[in-house]
Amino acid sequence: MLPAYAELHCRSNYSFLSGASHPEELVARAHELGYTALALTDECSLSGSVRALAEAERCQMRLIVGAEMQLSAPGTTPGQEAAQLAHPLLAAGPAAEPRLVLLVQSRRGYTNLVEWITQARRRAPKGSYQALRTDLEGRIPTAPTLAGLPGCFALLVAQAEQPFEAVFHHAMWLKTWFGTDRAGLAVELRHQAHDGVLLDTLMRVSAATGLPLVAAGGVRMHARSRKALLDVLTATAQRCTVAEAGLALAANAEAHLRSRVRLAALYRPEWLDATVAIAGTCAFSLSELKYEYPREITPEGHTPTTWLRHLTETGAAARFPQGLPPAVRKMIEHELALITQLRYEPYFLTVADIVDWARSQGILCQGRGSAANSAVCYCLGVTAVDPARSTLLFERFISAERNEPPDIDIDFEHQRREEVIQYIYRKYGRHRAALTGVVISYRPRSALRDVGRALGIDLERIEALSKSQHWFDGRHIHAERLRENGFDPEAPLCQLWMALSMPSARISTFSRPSVSRSSLSHWMTLRPGMLAFSTGTSSLKVSRAMTKPPGCCDRWRGNPMSCCVSSIHSRHSGAAGSKPFSRRRSGSMLRPSNQCWLLLTASMRSRSMPRARPTSRSALRGR
């Protein structure tokens, strides 16, 4: 009989340039292999959790929310330890600080983990993070509740290069702050040269500290066939070709979801049983999260329902000084009833408050989009479409059958948009408001460029082929197009290039990480009670939800779990990203697909590997 097993350490392509599979692929493969549960633990990110949840619900798979964090020593350069984590063989020596996998056990644990990720991202430059031991010792003045990270289970991931003393020191520290009931030692055996040394060290540390040994895979891909793609991602991260990457490349393809037969041959039964026991303690699900709107918008003596009606009636009297037409009255009553039924009053009040303030300051603004079908929005002054002079279809804006919350775009004059942003910060506090950022996905052109560079193909020839690829060509490159640019379609290197670049390899849907940080977001992950908003070249959109999981996609359809805080799409992509190659355009690294990043989360649009390009305002980054 095959043993039960839960994978507790698994990265997706939302761990930029170090994961070679989409969250959905990982969940589907784990279900196919009969795993009890799967923990998605991307590095300092919860971005892929929403897409993983959608797939987990589809196939009835247990999903554990988590993250992987490489702690840094005080005074080190942000990202230095994390780089060592991604490619330890290139480092001068083993990481001096522990590497942890955090698994969310409860709603409180989710909030604490999100807060820690936020703190780690905010203190580091764009694209990196700095997590400190002192964070978990309660030494952050604004976040003392992070001490011991209540509601989370911690696994210590040791390296074979680390001596017994270092691992023992890390384990004792972990035991001190998490206890033996919320901490363990991850045993990751992937047929590496020093697996025996690592196992001996972990067994001695476990005997000395009392921390249990737990089987783990350190998964980077759902199937071993993604090894070539993982190598390309590694080379891209190292800013070199695959041939030059050397020891940075994984020695084998064992970092995939393995069958339980192979796991049973590698790990002791008690280590496998421990994975299931830990998974059983992780009762939290993203489906528990609900929208939480601000309370400041409702004065004392009123409820959101009564205050919205009061503002609507006041606005209606101003809009129709000669009296409210019966048809408009009927529309207002119908809309208010539906808004009350769906409990969207706080959202309307939040938008109306921002618009009222802007108009009081003489700032030009105008609501648009499907909100123009609302008589309530017209009475609140959000839109300017007179319901008495046109035929409106409110259900295009809000519908109980579609279960889609409202979405209101407001255009502000470009020169004074910053004043509106600052007002939002003053009213709700910088700890509860944030700009959103969007991470875009690879398209055929960019995928061709980056994969071609990683494979060592001449840059000028890459550029010639990529420029010949147009949107109407779709996601495939015909053999004739290759011949026109001097390539032999039958050549093994050319075939590998096409296989890794096109949707069949899904790299063209992976994200490209280079999301910029704004002064407002500072890589903050949305927590319950936060207000998210995004800015376009001339518009500002208030998030539909005050509490969204950090990692939402733009396919959100009423379910908070189908979209994230950055489901608000910005049309402004002004900040430049990193340049892994000398001729690389801004923001061109690989990233996961169809997901958004709010501050630290990412959202990619298509079902392939993502590109990262910032949506936050570059003028705000220095603040």
Angle at 379 between CA 375 and CA 381, to 5 degrees: 115
* Residues ≥6 apart with Cβ < 8 Å to 504: none
CB 338 within 8 A of CB 281: no
The DSSP line for 440-501 is PBP-HHHHHHHHHHHTT--HHHHHHHHHT--GGGTT---HHHHHHTT--TTSHHHHHHHHHH
Same domain, 15 and 147: yes
Does 425 reside within a domain? no
Query: Residue 243: phi, psi to the nearest 5?
Result: -65, -30
Would you give the distance in Å from CA 1 to the centre of its chain?
38
Assess whether 524 and 408 both reside in one domain: no
Nearest residue to 600 (alpha-carbon basis) of 3, 145, 69: 69
Q: Tell me, what CATH number does 275's domain have?
A: 3.20.20.140
Show Cβ contacts of residue 398 under 8 Å, excluding neighbours closer than 6 positions: 335, 338, 339, 342, 344, 374, 404, 405, 406
Q: Tell me which residue has tokens 């901490």.
A: 183
Task: State which H helix or E strand residue 254 sits in.
Answer: none
Q: Which two tokens stand for residue 439?
A: 């991470």
Clarify whether residues 273 and 407 are in a common domain.
no
Residue range(s) defining the domain that contains residue 86: 6-288
Phi and psi angles of residue 38, each rounded to the nearest 5 degrees, phi first: -135, 130
DSSP three-state, residue 62: strand
Question: Distance between CA atoms of 207 and 213, rounded to whole angstroms?
Answer: 10
Residue 208 lies in a domain: yes
Cβ–Cβ under 8 Å, residues 601 and 439 = no
CA-based max dimension of the chain: 87
Task: Indicate whether 293 belongs to any domain.
Answer: no
Beta strands 37-43; 62-72: pairing state: parallel
Domain stop point among 460, 490, 505: 505
Instruction: Please state, in angstroms and rounded to a whole number, the distance separating the CA atoms of residues 615 and 599.
Output: 10
Strands 99-104 and 152-157: antiparallel
199 and 57 in a single domain? The answer is: yes
One domain, residues 392 and 273: no
CB count within 10 Å of CB 340 equals 14
Query: Is 479 found in the same domain as 589?
Result: no
Q: Are residues 238 and 328 in the same domain?
A: no
| Torsion, Cα of 290, 296, 298, 303 (10° steps) | 40
Quote the pLDDT of residue 514: 47
Could you tell me if residue 424 is inside a domain? Answer: no
| CB-based contact 7:35 (threshold 8 Å) | yes
Residues across the chain: 623
> Rounded to whole angstroms, how far apart are CA atoms 406 and 386?
19
C-beta separation of 102 from 113 below 8 A: yes
Could you tell me which residues come within 8 angstroms of residue 92 by beta carbon, excluding any fewer than 6 positions away?
none
**Could you tell me if residue 295 is inside a domain?**
no
Phi then psi for residue 276, to 5 deg, are -70, -40
CB count in 10 Å sphere of residue 391: 7
Angstrom distance (rounded) from CA 596 to CA 41: 17
Q: Structurally, how many domains does the chain consist of?
A: 4
Are the C-beta atoms of 314 and 349 separated by less than 8 Å? no
- What single letter denotes the amino acid at residue 290? K
Strands 6-7 and 62-72 come out as unpaired
Mean pLDDT by 10 residues, the chain (623 residues): 96 91 96 98 93 95 97 76 46 72 97 95 90 95 94 97 96 97 97 94 98 97 95 93 93 96 96 98 93 84 95 94 91 92 91 95 89 88 84 78 80 93 92 77 82 92 84 72 87 89 62 43 44 53 41 34 27 31 31 27 31 36 34
According to the model, what pLDDT value does residue 442 have?
76
H and E: helices and strands count for the chain: 20, 15
71 within a domain of the structure (yes/no)? yes
Residue whose token pair is 């560079």:
453
Any idea which residue has 């295009």 for tokens?
Answer: 396
How far is it, in rounded angstroms, from Cα 412 to Cα 233? 40
Q: Which two tokens stand for residue 595?
A: 């997901």
pLDDT of 445 reads: 83
As a whole number of angstroms, the distance between CA 573 and CA 518 comes to: 12
CA 308/CA 25 separation, integer angstroms: 45
Last residue of a domain, one of 462, 484, 505: 505
Nearest C-alpha neighbor of 9 from the set 69, 96, 89, 51: 69
Q: In the numeric block, which tokens belong to residue 253? A: 């393809």
281 & 395 share domain? no
Same domain, 359 and 260: no
| Three-state DSSP state, 362 | coil
- The answer to whether 459 touches 583, Cβ cutoff 8 Å, is yes
Distance CA(218)–CA(106), nearest Å, equals 23
Domain annotation covers residue 202: yes
Neighbours of 65 (CB within 10 A): 28
Which amino acid appears at position 497 of this protein? W
Question: Torsions phi, psi of 586, nearest 5?
Answer: -65, 140
Kindly state whether residue 294 falls inside one of the protein's structural domains: no
Burial of 389 (0-12, 13-18, 19+ CB in 10 A): exposed
Instruction: For the beta carbon of residue 594, count every other beta carbon within 10 angstroms.
Output: 24
311/437 same-domain check? no
Q: Do 180 and 276 share a domain, yes or no?
A: yes
User: Does residue 501 sit in the same domain as residue 589?
Assistant: no
- Which of 505, 520, 554 is the endpoint of a domain? 505
Predicted pLDDT of residue 213: 98
